[in-house]
Amino acid sequence: MKKYAFLFLIFSLNIFCLAQSLPKLSPIDFGYSNGVKSINSVKYFVDGDSLQKLEENYYYFGPNKKIMVFTEKDLRNKGAKKSTIYKYENDEVKSEKYNAGNEYQDYEVSYQYDADKSLLSSQYISKYINLNKKYNFTGNKLSSVITTNEMGKSEESYFYNNFGDLYAIHNTETVGKGSETIVTLFKNNREIARYSTSKSRRIGLNYITNSKEFSYATSDESIKKELETLELFLKQNKSKDLIVAQKIEMILKKAKNSELISAKFFIRNAKGDPEASAELEVPFEDLKIVAFYRIDYSNGSIEGSTDFQKHHFQDFQNRIETEKQVGLLSKNLN
């Protein structure tokens, strides 16, 4: 059981997160523009004319423009609250503590640095699993991360193109006598594809643009050649997001029995920060879950509101119907 817990944790920690194993600290790391001071969002469940608030999330970035606290409040469960608190020393993060009020989920991460303030190592500590990470840099670029515990080892190797952009991580996991390598591809530090060199895992594909994010899974091993070609393309080119998304769509159309895992839509302001988002749940037919955002900027300006925005909801509905006819929600994808 511990063997699978180790592999699951290593495999899952990076999903839909910043590409690197470095701590996420800046607004950009969390998907927001650099001038953000705080973000407050409220998620709603919509059933006809009935509205129910599901959860409220809050991010606060300090004067150093680094995350100080992140809270999640379950509005259905008497406001049950989860929080992540960050502590700094000499402007470097020293610890990250997650408190869910549940010993199965609570954890703490501590970080150590050298005299030049380069990250050396970190320790992830929870009740049931502990992980030690060692970081290696080439210049100012993270080149590898070695993660260990008593059950095994994971070694991540980082690859950058000539423009300095991360395009791939190769993660070799070893437990006992068995090992496998997981290849993850990135565009703008966002995961767009993930597959194993063995046949033990399904292939993950993420179609990402400024306005939508669709995630798929498939067991079709034949598309790995296309993914290897995509990795070479990312290595050699600095392409627009839409071009890469179109390449993902072409691979999806070749894949047999691809399964839609999640579908999200966004409405963004002029700075690129979200004003509203929508999630479709299985069977990806009717829109039931939307979220609205209030963003406070360090210059004192405020944009958006956490109140339910009916015009944004209608916009999402229209976009989803169009997507069903000619887009990635079309029944003719494969």
Q: What percent of the chain has pLDDT over 90?
A: 74
pLDDT band at 294 (very low <50, low <70, confident <90, very high): very high
Nearest C-alpha neighbor of 207 from the set 183, 160, 243: 243
The pLDDT of 207-212, averaged and rounded, is 95
Helix, strand, or coil (residue 43): strand
Q: What is the mean pLDDT of the chain?
A: 90
Give the residue extent of every domain in the chain: 2-326
Distances from the Cα of 237 to the Cαs of 177, 228, 229, 240, in angstroms? 38, 14, 12, 9
pLDDT over threshold 70, residue 90: yes
- Per-residue pLDDT, 178: 76
pLDDT over threshold 50, residue 152: yes
Contact 76, 52 (CB under 8 A): yes
- Per-residue pLDDT, 331: 54
Structure-token pair, residue 72: 């999640």
Q: Name the strand (E) or helix (H) holding 321.
A: helix 310-326
- Per-residue pLDDT, 284: 85
Q: What percent of the chain has pLDDT over 70?
A: 92
Helix, strand, or coil (residue 323): helix
pLDDT band at 100 (very low <50, low <70, confident <90, very high): very high
- Choose the weakest-confidence range: 83-92, 140-149, 177-186, 246-255: 177-186
User: For the segment 215-224, what is each residue's pLDDT rounded down to a tens digit?
Assistant: 999 999 999 9
Contact 161, 182 (CB under 8 A): no
